[in-house]
Chains A and B, each alone.
Chain A
Amino acid sequence: MYRLTRLVTLADSGRLSALADEMRALATAHSAYRQLVAPTLAGSHFGGELLAHFAFDDAVQRSDFDAALAPLFAAPAVASVDGVAYQSGPGGRSEPGLANGVYRVLLLSVDEDTDPALVERFEAETRMMPHYIPAIRGWQLSRADEATGARRWTHVWEQEYADVGGLMGPYMMHPYHWARIDRWFDPECPDRIVDARLCHSFCAMEASVL
């Protein structure tokens, strides 16, 4: 499963709807078997105004689609784009029946000189979040094959929730998050390995994309 996520920040927000339609049409023309293009919800941070997620059967399809997107993102109406191309990481859980929920994506960048064993430990602990926080209905943690934007994004951490309350409540407030996982991100903690610049973006979804 070859995936592509783009967080689009617009210089001209009046183009949001038209750009979203153009991206959806391109994705259909390039045989994306799953796609989500939607305005981001309030509370996103460096998450763009438009969140776009696509899945393809093979790398060539994904690459061709990425190339086709480039002219859209080069238009004056687009201020910047953050994103990753990746294959689904190990583990993960999908709930195909989850409808009218919320899809959330976090792009993060692990420091380049980090001990690989530490990166694996960070990944393993992150993959346990859904075990402790049942509000996470679907999830996937993946390493990026390619990255674009403000950082050399190394990972994409995706979750799906029944509603935005699952993200803002249990996900944020559970001690497994703030008292355990966050030390990898916290500049005050000596365990920190993740750059402080993150892309935290979420949007409404009609159907599960994971």
Chain B
Amino acid sequence: MMTDDTAAAPTVHAIDEIVAKPGEGKALLEDYLARYAPGARARGMTLEQILVSPPMWLDDQSNTLVFLWSLAGAGAWWQMRFVGGNDPDVGAWWADADARAVSRRRFFASDPADMERLCDV
């Protein structure tokens, strides 16, 4: 029988929410996938879902892009954080993305069912 000690670490999520400058949404999505996503995958992140709001490209208003990533637990999160946080190319990407965005948020989350285990450290 599997015990808590041997169970897989609870999945954690990193969520990027980017409000693109008017007319920039489609190009920013394409650049995110071309310039950011490959490195993120190499840092242990799995891209689970992309959402675009509204679901049409706007020329004169902002699209909001949402990227839902998963990581295999808090240990994998720190691995991602240490590598990405020390990579100047990652910093350069975000500086460029921020210049093409109205606003941006990155936050971290889990399934409610995993909260107790994540806090039991």
Contacts and interface: CB of A to CB of B under 8 A. Distances in A.
A179 B85 contact: no
A179 B107 CA distance: 7
B85 A196 contact: yes
Contact of A179 (B75, B90, B103, B109): B109
A179 B12 contact: yes
Contacts of B81: 178, 182, 186, 188
B90 A187 contact: yes
A175 B74 contact: yes
Contact of A170 (B84, B98, B107, B121): B121
B74 A178 contact: yes
Nearest to B110: A175
Interface residues of A, number: 17
Contacts of B98: 190
A143 interface: no
Contact of A187 (B94, B103, B110, B121): B94
Interface residues of B, number: 25
Contact of A188 (B75, B94, B103, B118): B94
A173 B121 contact: yes
B6 interface: no
B100 to A, nearest CB: 13
Contacts of B104: 190
Contact of B119 (A169, A174, A185): A174
A183 interface: yes
B94 A172 contact: no
Nearest to A175: B118
A188 B109 contact: no
Given A186-B85, A188-B84, A179 B108 contact: yes
Given A187-B91, A190-B105, A190-B106, A173 B85 contact: no
A186 B78 CA distance: 11
B1 to A, nearest CB: 25
B108 A178 contact: yes
Contacts of B91: 187
Interface of A: 169-170, 172-175, 178-179, 182-183, 185-190, 196
Interface of B: 12, 74-75, 77-78, 81, 84-86, 90-91, 94, 98, 103-110, 115, 118-119, 121
Given A175-B74, A178-B78, 20 more contacts: A169-B121, A172-B78, A173-B74, A173-B75, A174-B121, A175-B108, A175-B110, A175-B115, A178-B74, A178-B77, A178-B81, A182-B81, A188-B85, A188-B94, A188-B106, A189-B106, A190-B94, A190-B103, A190-B106, A196-B86
Closest 10 CB pairs of A and B: A179-B108, A173-B121, A189-B106, A170-B121, A173-B74, A190-B104, A175-B118, A187-B85, A187-B91, A174-B121
